[in-house]
Chain A
Amino acid sequence: MSGEHDAADRAHREAQAERLLAAWRTPTGWRYWSAVNNSEVGAWYTVAAFVFFLFAGVLALLVRVQLAVPSNDFLSADVYNQAFTLHGTVMMFLFAVPIFEAFSILILPQILASRDLPFPRLSAYGFWSFVIGGVFVCGSIFFGAAPDAGWFMYPPLTTDLEQSGIGTDIWLLGLSFIEVASIAAAIELIVGVLKCRPPGMRINFMPLYAWYVLVVGGMILFAFPPLIAGDLLFEMERAFDWPFFDPERGGDPLLWQHLFWIFGHPEVYIIFLPAIALVAMIVPTFAQRPIFGYSWVVLAAVGTGFLSFGLWVHHMYATGLPAISIGFFSAASEAVVIPTGVQIFVFIATLLTGRVIFSTPLLFIAGALAIFLIGGLTGVMVALAPFDWQAHDTYFVVAHLHYVLIGGMLFPIVAGFYYYFPLVTGKKLSDRLGRTAFWLMFSGFNIAFLPMHLTGLRGMPRRVFTYPEGLGWDTLNMVSTVGAFIFAAGILVVLLDVMRPKRRQPYAERNPWNAGTLEWLCEMPGKPWGVRSIPLVTSRYPLWEQANFVRDVDEGRFFLPDAEEGERETLVTSVLDAEGVQCLRVPGPTFLTMAAAVFTGGVFIFATYHWYAATAVSGVLALASIIAWLWTGTAVIPEKDEKHIGHGRTLPLYMSGPRSVGWWAMCITMIGDMTAFFSLVFTYFFFWTVNPSFPPEAAPGPGVLWPAVALAMLIGAWALTTMARRWNARDRVLSLRAGLALAIVLAAASMGALVFGVRGTGLDPTASSYGATVWVLILWLAAHVAVGSVMQAYCIARSMAGKLTGKWDIEIRNVSLYWHFLAFTAAATTAVIALFPLVD
């Protein structure tokens, strides 16, 4: 009897597994590239970021060859300047930040035992955008058209159209495009961590990697928008002569430095913290014990995130700022040592209290620690203004930043490669090659960069394409060049290890490192579904701490072991306690996201060449493909209200409002959007602070009348949108549609009043920084109103198609949330441009 029962049970489970596999199967043939599942997109993303890394590495070698001997003519000044600019740009924007997002897309769902991230198509869109933008930026050097003013692009060198050609536009627009993709990925990852954890994984059970993703995602949200706002100002000056950085018309070159470094300093931690996240996953495994001091690490990571926004001025000590502000920023910069030190000592304490197993990943971690420690100590030095005035912009800083980034990022990433490779491919990398690579990289790195400290102290500035002999720099530079090639050889060994055919190598055993976290539930080779069933988690290291855990997962004894309807499903849980709230159906493969990325890329690329007609066409196509993607893939009405997910639990299939992932994504997006808006407001008050005649006496407009009229109408449109949401809840279909239509008309009238009214006052954006700043705020508002109107029109269409009703109301709830932020933007804009000149 029991034997029969077992057989039936087994057959039942096999049928379940087959259905699950069918739902999650990766498309084959040319359709493979339509995949959106995190395991494919994450792998492509990682490979692409690594390819960009190799490209930038080759540029670095060219730079080192040029500097090997004094008065060298291997590269011309022009090519050298492009090479070092592109090296920095690509390493920062196309490798260091994206590799974190790529890696996280790849492994975060596994770490959370989730089947996928909440918006797989958004990841795919971000990936294709990244590749297109990256190829565009990198390719420029083959046409001699690469940016050539250093990766921080200081104006006025870069706003001078004769000295900085198309390369600067490629930098501004190409990278803005990539930054948008980065923010998209950050939103996806934040929502993933907050809402897609397995049931029972309360926030204090979260694996440390997830904590770091949360912190870094938040930082991206607040750090990238100022740069995007800066890029906007920059491109307006280059393309339309709006004088934000031109001192002769009331602009200020330092404004860019502030906006750039408000981004640029957190950027360093955005790069560094994810690498520490890898360390926080790897160290406990090889110490064979839980992390020692979980709360300390979490507090330190959050603290680092906060502090990193208060340090940007330490990149600007030499600009002649007042001593009092320099003192403040010196102290703040030193303070970041404390949370960083806490994290390092937590890892040391974990090793101390555990039984350490030596391995290749741990070797790379040890190397990372050694290198980063030196980078951190020189960081303490350059944070002190009196010392920084010597070291700033010299090879000392070049050495410092490479110690920080290579120790704090590259070595942990390689450790992560060796650690997680079996998770992705089912096979281990070679220990022998790994050790060879380590010693080449470690020794090569120190031979290359340790002497640079001295080169810098002896007065060699960075970014020089050549130097005269006899200044004490010759031997040091030769040594650095030799070291760089040894380092490169180490990278090459890693590459060989990854690329070598492994067909005959057996699959690794399951959980090869005997780790305790959920990603190691993965079978070797992995299955596209991720986990056989989504477990109930009651501890931080379930594989170590929960009895029969792997068996129960494999036998489908936890949640969602089946895909009865052939849909891709994953669980959405509550933010703090991870109680199940929804069974989320995620969309499957599509080429729409690729098309949307291609056309969005077209907008940026055509705009670079001032082909505005093509830009407009591409924009329309991008909008069309995004709408098609939303229409077919989001807010799909399920065939039933709820479903059993196992263990006698039932969860709804459709969810809107604050408990849904879409609402969270909108809210988080708008927080990022607000940050960009505040950067523009900052611009206004920055000018007001530094410039005694801002607003200039003679400036006409914008006046109070037209901005006030516009605001009144826009508030009307917002009120109608809010009402429309309520009408919809009561299924008053006609009111909903009429209300939204009226809102669109009002919004258009409002923007008409604002633009034509202010134009009528004669306020000229090219005449002064004042006009330019007021107009850029208006432009920002108008663009947001346009997007808001498209959303309203989309809701009307969804309602008419019967896809938006009182019960199925995701669209209108998210759109009305957008309009809350929009109403705030409008009110704040009006207060700044119309009312502030009155009180001043």
Chain B
Amino acid sequence: MRDFEKQWISAAVINKDPKYFGYLVSEHQIAVRGYLRRLTKGNEALSDDLAQETFLNAFRKITTYKSTGSFKSWLFTIAYRCFLTHIRKNSSNPLMNFPLDDFEETEFVEREGTKDASSQVTDKIDIENAFKHLKKNERSTISLCYTYGMSHSEISEIMDMPLGTVKSHILRGKEKLAKILNPAQEDVLC
């Protein structure tokens, strides 16, 4: 954690000052929104609503933040809980087209032909689309691990699950992604 971030956190915790909390929001909003975008399978409106809820919860509970862990992982913990609360609340709502476990099992359609590896834009779109075929725990663990650089033990704390489970989610998710993004690789993996 950088020094200025520590100062902002102290000022926000001691004074509950919105100004310093604002600095923290601007510093972490991209990461939190991005993480929730992945969790919600690219649903922009929903992910931004959840991100807003995350920051408001963080502001309300800022005095409970313990400086032993990173502030970002604390925010991710709140974000993940907001996401879980949202899907639990809406799991019985037939109007909500949202990832339930059945929906997550949807098989992806493997692409035919070769992949244009030279186009970064295509890769990025492919990655985001590929994430939609993973289960929510796989999407979460892989994003936290590779995109946001969290260690396995940090992910285990964020998602409140055993370290071994985190590792197996990452492994399974990576195998699925490899299969989706590069069908030719399937032979090597099997």
Decide whether A and B are members of one complex: no
User: Which A residues have a C-beta under 8 Å from some C-beta of B?
Assistant: none
User: Which B residues have a C-beta under 8 Å from some C-beta of A?
Assistant: none
